[in-house]
């Protein structure tokens, strides 16, 4: 018995040891730029932000949102249903919004982290409700919620991150984010609020410091307040850091910058050895330049993109791929929203709650107390996981698509049967579908990627349908060359009658069916049905579907129409249908692909003598025929080239080609071959506007201009043309547009060009130009503007922003100077490259355009031509609406760009808000900037936004710079210009310690040396690691500045 008892005790201690050992393995810490567990294994956090649970934000509380902080929302609810019922509503909201089923599901989808936004008032009372100043009343509601959530996370081996989303007093002018009450002291205006914040973190730390599945603490979410140099922000961060560490808590601290998490001025280097910088990313391009910005601001610490999302599936996929490829952790936002397509779960928008929101927005038709209670009670039921609509397309875009271009079915599609238009496959654009509209929200003017804003978060335009036979939705806004792919299960091969359910007011709609890259039906024209909501059928007879077919594409050959569903009915065996020609197209300049309705027997005899090909009416020689990998097609090779614009016809007179069912291919005569040969326009060079390969809304007419030929016309807003271009070398090009516009019919034109990467499909707007009025539709003028292009092959899209106008040609020239003269004015819209900005017409003096819709980390690049070397006084013409909580002026970094070096900050300027988005003020008297003569590339990098920018001016400055040298003290600095070192000599004998400082023109100290010197000064300083072109030498005797010298760097 004694042995058994000892054995039992040993087992207990062994289990405890194993438990403690396992306990420690999951704690996270930083290691270089990585987050690792206790075993040193790298951990990529894939998180979901539980927005709307403990902190309600108005924009998430209805499809169109409404302006409102949580305290205002609560007040509005109380006004309708009273205090008791309001308390019940919030109790049920907190209880039902996040439950174990939610956590279990997120784990199964692939998330390993939940970022939990907390409101301080669930943990402690506001300072104004405390019994005396500085006291702290604890509330247990928030702890109970966190404890339950952590338990569910532990069950799933998921991490929980505590995010102080609404700090005591509120941490930003944007009140909705942090429940800021403008009538009370903010976090930054009250030491009591700051101390309460520190105490809250102390108590959270005491409670959770030993919890291995707590990833860490996000100390303050999205501060957005005017905090010079972020000094007060850092001070509070350090106070919180110290109090957490004093509890023996080693959890990671996640640090967000000012201005919605992205301005890290003054917050680097890190002050703690277990710290992560956490910027947020919304509505901006997904590219390596953003990554470069992250790396620059976060030094050698890890990066965690703490909030990102609220965009299209295409953007989601690209963003996550960028993060994952570079080892960056991330957390999406949000988990649930009311009647929205962007989050994984959409909450039902019940009718009685909708009437409440309508009342709040309009002030009309106040609902009864009973109806309001019913609507709000239903809402707290609708937020339960099982009552939400699950967007599986979003989870697929986040967790599968970043690592695979393959498609998977969205629904089980069975042939024979009905396949709904919205049940196309899940996958990236170009694999599962192609849509010609906006692909994501990259900043600036919002353009919906799904025009119907229904059902799915892909780029296909889906809207609610009134068709009683539909699944409640249909595909609309169809445009030329769009398509959707549908994977299906085939019950039986054979010949099928295919019916299309559609509606249209236009008689232009056309479609065809493809399997793989092979067209299997004729191009079908769609007659007018009478309206966009009057539904009808059109049939396609005898479509052959074989044993090995498992997917098809619905191809829009010409828009536009609404598409509800497609129905397949089997009408017989494959042999019941003749083998016939379906389509043909050029594959390259010397080959034609011919497609039939059935699989071709590869043992068939292919004789060139049985085919006749005419190009522009002239017969051309056929050199060979061969089978393709596709079962229904074969290739006919030509002896001569087919050129863009050629008219090609083909005929077949033989009987030797047979389908696999033994039937001979029917003869055909003079079928027109689709000529897909496109011009590839070399850059530099001239592009004739009519030489596009794809267009929407454009017509071609004879031109009356030098050189003759054609011009494109009838150009209206939304029209576009696509061109293949090949940029020979990277550089800056002068783009000239040859346009005409009749003042009797037009107000002039505006055009945008952008590049589509032929490999990634990513689109980026690179230029926006206003075109002038002329004296008629054939009175031509030229307009020029510079743009930066990178070597490579692209699709260039020319988009009409405003019309009408005509366009004859446009050209790219790299042989002329494109630098904007300095001294002088630089118009903000005359950039050569931009990221995240938009243009709009300005109401400022002089007219033209301004740039706007700026977010932190947006930027614009320019080429300037400095005609006079020296120091410049630079002024900025800006506007913003200071009446908006979120608009509090701006900060701009002026940077000099060097091809082989990181950007050099020339100066940083800040300015207050004005009285409106078009209330323009000029701000000047900033640090002077030294400019060398010649062409220079500069960047305006926006670190605090939003504001609008119209122009900046460069005025040569001849005043005093950085102090005056004591005329009685002589210093010699040589060589100057210098390459690797400078020598400093003087007969001056200092009274105190001598200090040498090398400073760049923005005031940044690059080098400092202090020493005691009893003799004359003879100093040698290495500058091999100094990058600026100009530095300033300061010499101090003790604290007295005794000499200032400019030193040019010539490397």
d(CA 479, CA 464): 19
Give the pairing of strands 622-627 and 633-638: antiparallel
Select the CATH number that applies to the domain covering 44-393 from these four: 1.10.287.470, 3.30.413.10, 2.60.120.10, 3.20.20.80.
3.20.20.80
Q: What is the pLDDT of residue 306?
A: 97
d(CA 204, CA 300): 28
Q: What is the pLDDT of residue 295?
A: 55
Q: What is the pLDDT of residue 4?
A: 39
Q: Which DSSP letter does residue 368 get? A: P
d(CA 335, CA 309): 10
Low-confidence residues of the chain: pLDDT under 50: 1-23, 297-298, 962-967
The CATH class, in words, for 972-1048 is mainly beta
User: Does the domain at residues 822-957 carry the CATH identifier 2.60.120.260?
Assistant: yes
The answer to whether the CB of 858 falls within 8 A of the CB of 943 is no
806 DSSP β-pair partners: 740
Q: Which residues make Cβ contacts (< 8 Å) with residue 812, sequence separation at least 6?
A: 683, 684, 685, 686, 687, 733, 734, 735, 787, 789
- Identify the residue whose tokens are 């060097």: 898
Helix 100-109 vs helix 141-156: angle between axes, to the nearest 10 degrees? 40
Q: What is the pLDDT of residue 296?
A: 53
Closest C-alpha among 478, 664, 481 to residue 562: 478
Select the CATH number that applies to the domain covering 681-817 from these four: 1.10.1240.10, 3.30.70.360, 2.60.120.260, 3.20.10.10.
2.60.120.260
d(CA 811, CA 822): 26
Q: What single string gives the DSSP state of each residue in 688-733?
A: ETT--SEEES-EEEE--STT-SEEEE---TT-EEEEEEEE-S-EEE
d(CA 650, CA 592): 9
Q: Which residues make Cβ contacts (< 8 Å) with residue 808, sequence separation at least 6?
A: 688, 689, 703, 705, 709, 711, 738, 739, 740, 780
The answer to whether the CB of 648 falls within 8 A of the CB of 629 is no
Helix 392-399 vs helix 313-325: angle between axes, to the nearest 10 degrees? 30
Q: What is the pLDDT of residue 5?
A: 37
Question: What tokens were used for 896?
Answer: 């000099």
Domain with CATH 2.60.40.3080 in the chain: 972-1048
Task: Report the predicted TM-score, pTM, of the whole model to 2 decimal places.
Answer: 0.79
Closest C-alpha among 809, 748, 818, 811 to residue 777: 748
- Identify the residue whose tokens are 């400073």: 999
Closest C-alpha among 489, 488, 567 to residue 535: 567
For the chain, how many residues are written?
A: 1051
376 DSSP β-pair partners: none
Q: Is 602 exposed, middle or buried (0-12, 13-18, 19+ CB in 10 A)?
A: exposed
- Quote helix, strand, coil % in the chain, to nearest 5: 20, 40, 40
Domain with CATH 2.60.120.260 in the chain: 408-576, 681-817, 822-957
Element containing residue 740 per DSSP (H, E)? strand 731-740
Q: What is the pLDDT of residue 1003?
A: 60
The answer to whether the CB of 657 falls within 8 A of the CB of 602 is no
User: Does the domain at residues 581-673 carry the CATH identifier 2.60.40.1220?
Assistant: yes
Q: Which fold has domain 408-576?
A: Jelly Rolls (2.60.120)
Dihedral sign, Cα of residue 143, residue 149, residue 155, residue 157 = negative
Domain with CATH 3.20.20.80 in the chain: 44-393
The answer to whether the CB of 86 falls within 8 A of the CB of 78 is yes
Domain with CATH 2.60.40.1220 in the chain: 581-673
d(CA 518, CA 544): 12
Q: Which residues make Cβ contacts (< 8 Å) with residue 731, sequence separation at least 6?
A: 788, 789, 814
Closest C-alpha among 752, 680, 756 to residue 720: 752
Give the pairing of strands 1005-1011 and 994-999: antiparallel
pLDDT digits (tens, 9 = 90+) for 504-550: 998 889 999 999 889 999 999 999 999 999 999 999 999 999 999 99
């Amino acid at each position: 018995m004694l042995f058994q008892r000892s054995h039992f005790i040993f087992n207990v201690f062994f289990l405890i040891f194993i438990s403690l050992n396992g306990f420690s393995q999951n704690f996270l810490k930083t290691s270089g730029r990585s987050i690792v567990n206790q075993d040193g294994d790298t951990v990529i956090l894939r998180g979901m932000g539980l927005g709307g649970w403990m902190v309600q934000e108005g924009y998430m509380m209805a499809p169109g949102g409404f302006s409102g902080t949580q305290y205002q929302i609560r007040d509005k609810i109380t006004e309708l249903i009273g205090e008791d019922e309001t308390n019940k509503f919030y109790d049920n909201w907190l209880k039902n919004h996040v439950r174990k089923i939610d956590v279990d599901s997120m784990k199964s989808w692939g998330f390993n982290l939940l970022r939990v936004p907390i409101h301080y008032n669930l943990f402690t009372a506001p300072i104004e409700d405390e019994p005396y100043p500085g006291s702290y009343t604890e509330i247990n509601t928030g702890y109970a919620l966190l404890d339950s959530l952590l338990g569910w996370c532990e069950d799933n081996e998921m991490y929980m991150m505590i995010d102080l989303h609404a700090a005591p007093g509120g941490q930003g002018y944007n009140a909705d984010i942090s429940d800021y009450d403008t009538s009370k002291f903010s976090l930054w205006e009250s030491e009591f609020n700051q101390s309460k914040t520190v105490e809250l973190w102390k108590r959270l730390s005491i409670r959770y410091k030993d919890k291995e599945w707590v990833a860490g603490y996000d100390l303050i979410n999205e501060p957005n307040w005017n905090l010079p140099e972020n000094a007060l922000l850092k001070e509070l961060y350090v106070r919180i850091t110290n109090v957490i560490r004093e509890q023996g808590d080693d959890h990671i601290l996640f640090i967000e910058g000012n201005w919605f998490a992205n301005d890290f001025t003054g917050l680097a280097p890190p002050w703690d050895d277990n710290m992560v910088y956490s910027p947020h990313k919304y509505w901006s391009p997904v590219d390596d330049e953003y990554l470069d910005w992250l790396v620059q601001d976060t030094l050698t610490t890890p990066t965690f993109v703490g909030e990102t999302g609220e965009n299209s599936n295409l953007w989601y996929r690209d963003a996550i791929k960028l993060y994952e490829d570079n080892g960056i952790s991330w957390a999406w936002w949000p988990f649930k929203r009311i009647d929205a397509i962007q989050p994984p779960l959409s909450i039902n928008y019940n009718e009685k709650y909708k009437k409440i929101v309508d009342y709040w927005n309009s002030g009309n038709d106040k609902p009864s107390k009973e109806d309001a209670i019913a609507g709000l009670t239903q809402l707290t039921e609708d937020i339960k996981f099982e009552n939400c609509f699950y967007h599986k397309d979003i989870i697929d875009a986040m967790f599968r698509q970043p690592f695979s271009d393959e498609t998977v079915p969205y629904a089980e599609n069975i042939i024979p049967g009905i396949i709904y238009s919205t049940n196309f496959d899940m996958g990236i654009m170009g694999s599962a579908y192609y849509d010609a509209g906006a692909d994501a929200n990259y900043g600036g003017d919002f353009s919906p990627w799904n025009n119907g804003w229904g059902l799915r978060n892909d780029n296909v335009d889906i809207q609610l349908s009134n068709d009683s036979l539909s699944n409640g939705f249909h595909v609309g806004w169809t445009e030329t060359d769009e398509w959707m792919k549908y994977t299906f299960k085939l019950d039986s091969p054979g010949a099928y009658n295919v019916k299309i359910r559609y509606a249209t007011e236009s008689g232009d709609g056309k479609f065809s069916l493809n399997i793989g890259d092979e067209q299997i039906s004729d191009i079908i024209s769609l007659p007018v049905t009478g309206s966009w909501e009057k539904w009808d059928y059109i049939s396609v007879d005898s479509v052959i579907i074989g044993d090995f077919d498992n997917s098809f594409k619905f191809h829009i050959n010409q828009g536009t129409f609404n598409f509800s569903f497609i129905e397949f009915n089997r009408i017989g065996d494959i042999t019941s249908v003749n083998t016939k020609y379906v389509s043909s197209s050029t594959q390259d300049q010397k080959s034609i692909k011919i497609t039939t309705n059935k699989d071709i027997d590869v043992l068939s005899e292919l004789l060139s003598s049985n085919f006749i090909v005419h190009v522009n009416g002239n017969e051309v020689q056929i050199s060979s025929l061969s089978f393709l990998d596709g079962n229904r097609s074969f290739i006919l090779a030509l002896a001569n080239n087919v050129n863009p614009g050629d008219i090609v016809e083909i005929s077949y007179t033989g009987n030797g080609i047979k389908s696999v069912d033994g039937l001979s291919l029917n003869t055909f005569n003079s079928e027109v071959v689709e000529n897909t040969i496109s011009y590839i326009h070399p850059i530099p060079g001239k592009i004739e506007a009519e030489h596009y390969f794809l267009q929407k809304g454009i017509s071609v007419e004879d031109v009356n201009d030098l050189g003759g030929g054609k011009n494109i016309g009838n150009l209206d807003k939304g029209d576009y043309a696509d061109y293949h271009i090949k940029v020979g070398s990277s550089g800056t090009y002068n783009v000239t547009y040859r346009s005409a516009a009749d003042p009797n019919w037009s107000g002039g034109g505006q055009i945008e060009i952008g590049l589509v990467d032929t490999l990634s499909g990513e689109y980026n707007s690179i230029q926006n130009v206003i075109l002038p009025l002329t004296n008629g539709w054939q009175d031509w003028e030229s307009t020029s503007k510079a743009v930066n292009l990178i070597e490579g092959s692209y699709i260039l899209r020319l988009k009409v922003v405003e019309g009408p106008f005509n366009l004859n040609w446009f050209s790219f020239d790299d042989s002329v100077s494109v630098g904007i003269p300095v001294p002088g004015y630089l118009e903000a819209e005359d950039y050569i490259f931009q990221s995240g900005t938009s243009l709009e017409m300005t109401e400022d003096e002089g007219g033209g355009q301004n740039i706007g819709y700026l977010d932190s980390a947006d930027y614009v690049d320019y080429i300037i031509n400095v005609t006079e070397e020296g120091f410049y006084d630079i002024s900025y013409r800006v506007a913003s609406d200071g009446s908006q909580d979120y608009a509090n002026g701006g900060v701009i970094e002026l940077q000099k760009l060097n091809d082989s070096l990181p950007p050099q900050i020339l100066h940083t300027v800040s300015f207050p808000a004005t009285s409106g988005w078009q209330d323009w003020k000029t701000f000047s008297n900033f640090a002077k900037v030294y400019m060398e003569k010649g062409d220079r590339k500069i960047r305006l990098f926006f670190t605090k936004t939003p504001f609008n920018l119209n122009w900046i001016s460069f005025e040569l400055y001849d005043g005093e710079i950085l102090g005056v040298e004591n005329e009685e003290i002589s210093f010699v600095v040589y060589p100057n210009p210098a390459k690797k070192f400078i020598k400093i000599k003087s007969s001056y004998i200092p009274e105190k310690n001598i200090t040498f400082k090398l400073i760049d023109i923005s005031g940044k100290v690059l080098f400092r040396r202090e020493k005691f010197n009893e003799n004359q000064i003879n100093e040698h300083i290495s500058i091999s690691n100094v990058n600026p072109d100009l530095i300033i030498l300061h010499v101090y005797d003790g604290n007295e500045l005794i000499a200032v010298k400019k030193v040019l760097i010539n490397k």
